[in-house]
């Protein structure tokens, strides 16, 4: 049995800031007090241990409080993107037999609109007395000691995978999964009680939930995004010390300003290989930067490397408690942060596809260097055959992003009568390339220029035969939503071609 780190921080550092929100600061004592009140409210409204609470909301102090309340009440926290269409939300709530739901979307609570059309579903109500407050009044020791201990293997969260390799799956995590992952991260990325981590990822993404556990263990502050400010402005205003980004976000941030990053103690980058130009920029700015490889099934980080200590961008070595191996070039993992399994729709059976020694296949192609540093070659599901040759889109994407005017790239297969499949690419660019589009088609001269550049780094047959402009698709996590981007690019192109 174990104590919640939130409870431990409320006792050890009651006045320390747990959450910095646009409405003010919330202490660890106040957050824990409110989490306990909400946990009691969950029980009174009929949520039993092991029940599922669907939370359809963007990040907020209330949503953070609800997570910790679920831990206290032994209820499974199931955050769902409020950007999902109502039909998809209904399907998720039905498939996974959600007992109650809570949402910030007004139309869900309106008597004139019934987007949640499941008769057995209950709307969780929170009164104003149960919302996070800014009080810094310390709790009594007796109150804290009366809390229920947590079983390490207690299921606490249900998180949808990114769906980058197919339909999203619902991954069940135990409390121990999250805590041990956070402890492993702390061994490589120090976090102190005076530090603050910007919650730049949603809580319905494993990377967002991981930030809560890292901060709770260290007694650091979780900082909610202020939408009225640019990221650069908020970093300066709130003295952000820790930040999680993908390379495209970092590029945009560096375009905004470089001077505002002086408060950053640690910058964690995810979502794939990082361009060497960005690594060099981070070194020049003397920012302590890390790159990670992770997945929902392993409770976020699997490996991490310090970028300021290398000239290239390997994905590092395993966090404490994690193990890696290669089987026929495919990466397998196991460790203390490996999830409880996938919750199957309708049947609610829990399944974890591991071998008899507990190894989980990631479906990622990879290599190790002499120091044991991991390098990804690409996802097995993304690979396709071009003229009889295996082609990994990630290799071509990395080469494209070495081009001085290409900021982001995504490569996918397009059917061809001669070669079977040919590579095409979606790119986001600046400079002269940004002006080389004619009705969303890249000029022949610009395409030839990119091809000549790529042939310096990859085989000619791997060069994309066609380019699409980067579509306006929201990115919530550390991974690119490949399927959504490809679908949006193709639909836009087909629409333009219609008479």
Of 340, 343, 376, nearest in space to 360 by CA: 340
CB 171 within 8 A of CB 296: yes
Report residue 320's pLDDT band, with 50, 70 and 90 as the boundaries.
very high
Dihedral sign computed on CA atoms, order 206, 332, 312, 380: negative
Chain region(s) in the chain for CATH 3.40.50.12780: 5-369
- Which of these ranges, 135-139, 185-189, 357-361, 490-494, has the smallest mean pLDDT? 135-139
- Residue 175 is inside which H or E element, if any? helix 175-188
Residue of higher predicted confidence among 381 and 18: 18
Q: Is pLDDT above 70 for 292?
A: yes
Q: In what order do the strands lie in the sheet with 300-306?
A: 24-27, 17-21, 221-223, 196-198, 242-246, 266-270, 289-295, 300-306, 317-318
Work out the average pLDDT over 310-339.
89
Q: 263 near 240, Cβ under 8 Å? A: yes
In CATH, the architecture of 382-497 is: 2-Layer Sandwich (3.30)
pLDDT of residue 221: 98
Q: For residues 329, 334, 338 and 340, what is the CA-based torsion angle, rounded to 10 degrees?
A: 100
Query: What does the pLDDT look like over 69-96, one tens digit per residue?
Result: 999 999 999 999 888 878 788 889 999 9
pLDDT value at 377 more than 60: yes
DSSP helix/strand/coil, 20:
strand
Q: Is 346 exposed, middle or buried, given 0-12, 13-18 or 19+ CB atoms closer than 10 A?
A: exposed
Task: Measure Cα distances from 480 to 248, 270, 473 in Å.
Answer: 10, 10, 10
Predicted local confidence at residue 384, as pLDDT: 86
Q: Collect all residues with Cβ–Cβ distance below 8 Å to 103 and sequence separation of at least 6.
A: 55, 56, 57, 82, 109
pLDDT at residue 98, as a whole number? 92
Q: What is the pLDDT of residues 20-38, one digit of tens each?
A: 999 899 999 999 999 999 9
476 vs 125, higher pLDDT: 125
- With DSSP H G I counted as helix, E B as strand and the rest as coil, what are the percentages for the chain, rounded to 5? 35, 25, 40
> Do residues 153 and 174 make contact, with C-beta atoms less than 8 angstroms apart?
yes
The pLDDT assigned to 349 comes to 95
Residue 434's CB: how many other CB atoms inside 10 A?
A: 15
Q: What is the pLDDT of residues 266-288, one digit of tens each?
A: 999 886 667 777 788 888 888 88
Contact yes or no for 32/136 (Cβ under 8 A): no
d(CA 269, CA 152): 29
Using one digit for the tens of pLDDT, what is the confidence trace for 352-364? 999 999 999 998 8
| pLDDT value for 119 | 47
pTM: 0.82
The whole-number pLDDT of residue 162 equals: 65
Which of 3.40.120.10, 3.40.50.12780, 3.90.105.10, 3.40.50.1980 is the CATH number of 5-369? Answer: 3.40.50.12780
CB atoms within 10 A of CB 35: 27
- pLDDT tens column, 139-185: 555 555 566 689 999 999 999 986 544 467 999 999 999 999 999 99
Q: Provide the 8-state DSSP code for 354.
A: B
Q: What pLDDT, on the 0 to 100 scale, is given for residue 483? A: 82
Lowest mean pLDDT among 200-214, 229-243, 293-307, 383-397: 383-397
Angle between helices 206-218 and 61-73 (to 10 degrees): 80
Q: With pLDDT > 90 as the criterion, what percentage of the chain qualifies? A: 54
Mean per-residue pLDDT over the chain, rounded: 85
Alpha-carbon span 306 to 445, nearest angstrom: 39
Of the ranges 25-39, 134-148, 383-397, 408-422, the best mean pLDDT one: 25-39
**Residue 434 scores a pLDDT above 50:** yes
pLDDT of residue 423: 95
DSSP 8-state code for residue 2: B
Rounded Cα–Cα distance for residues 186 and 319 (Å): 9
- What stretch(es) of the chain map to CATH 3.30.300.30? 382-497
Instruction: Tell me: pLDDT of 62 over 70.
Output: yes
CA distances from 407 to 116, 224, 249 (A): 40, 27, 10
| Cα→Cα distances 106→111, 112, 208, 339, Å | 10, 11, 24, 34
Percent of the chain past pLDDT 70, that is, above it, reads 85
């Amino acid at each position: 049995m174990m104590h919640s780190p939130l409870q431990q921080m409320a006792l050890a550092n009651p006045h320390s800031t747990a959450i910095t929100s646009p409405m003010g600061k919330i202490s660890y004592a106040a957050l824990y007090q409110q989490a306990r009140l909400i946990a009691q409210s969950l029980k009174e409204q009929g949520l039993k241990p092991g029940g599922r609470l669907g939370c359809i909301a963007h990040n907020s102090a209330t949503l953070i409080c609800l997570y910790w309340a679920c831990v206290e009440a032994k209820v499974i926290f199931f955050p769902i993107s409020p950007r999902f269409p109502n039909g998809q939300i209904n399907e998720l709530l039905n498939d996974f037999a959600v007992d109650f739901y809570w949402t910030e979307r007004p139309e869900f609570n309106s008597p004139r609109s019934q987007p949640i059309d499941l008769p057995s579903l209950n709307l969780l109500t929170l009164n104003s007395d149960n919302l996070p407050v800014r009080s810094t009044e310390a709790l009594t020791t007796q109150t804290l000691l009366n809390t229920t201990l947590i079983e390490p293997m207690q299921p606490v969260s249900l998180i949808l995978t990114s769906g980058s390799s197919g339909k999203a799956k619902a991954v069940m995590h135990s409390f121990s999964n999250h805590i041990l992952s956070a402890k492993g991260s702390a061994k490589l990325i120090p976090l102190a009680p005076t530090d603050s981590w910007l919650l730049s990822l949603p809580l319905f993404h494993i990377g967002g939930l991981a930030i809560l556990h890292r901060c709770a263990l260290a007694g650091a502050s979780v900082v909610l995004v202020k939408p009225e400010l640019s990221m650069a402005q908020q970093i300066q205003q709130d003295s952000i010390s820790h930040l999680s980004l993908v390379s495209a976000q970092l590029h945009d941030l560096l375009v905004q300003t470089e001077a505002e990053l002086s408060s950053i103690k640690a910058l964690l980058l995810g979502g794939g290989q990082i361009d060497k130009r960005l690594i060099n920029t981070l070194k020049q700015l003397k920012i302590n930067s890390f790159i990670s490889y992770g997945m929902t099934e392993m409770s976020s980080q699997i490996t991490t490397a310090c970028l300021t200590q290398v000239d290239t961008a390997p994905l590092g070595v395993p966090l404490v408690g994690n193990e890696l191996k290669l089987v026929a070039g495919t990466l397998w993992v196991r460790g203390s942060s490996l999830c409880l399994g996938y919750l199957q729709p309708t049947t609610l059976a829990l399944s974890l596809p591991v071998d008899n020694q507990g190894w989980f296949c990631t479906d990622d192609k990879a290599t190790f260097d002499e120091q044991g540093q991991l390098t990804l070659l690409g996802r097995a599901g993304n690979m396709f055959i071009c003229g009889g040759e295996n082609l990994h889109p990630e290799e071509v994407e990395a080469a494209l992003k070495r081009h001085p005017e290409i900021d982001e790239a995504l490569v996918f297969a397009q059917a061809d009568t001669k070669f079977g499949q040919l590579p095409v690419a979606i790119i986001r660019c600046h400079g002269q390339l940004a002006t080389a589009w004619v009705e969303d088609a890249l000029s022949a001269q610009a395409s030839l220029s990119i091809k000549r550049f790529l042939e310096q780094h990859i085989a000619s047959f791997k060069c994309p035969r066609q380019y699409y402009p980067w579509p306006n698709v929201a990115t919530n996590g550390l991974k690119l939503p490949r399927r959504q981007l490809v679908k949006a690019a193709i639909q836009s192109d087909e629409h333009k071609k219609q008479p």
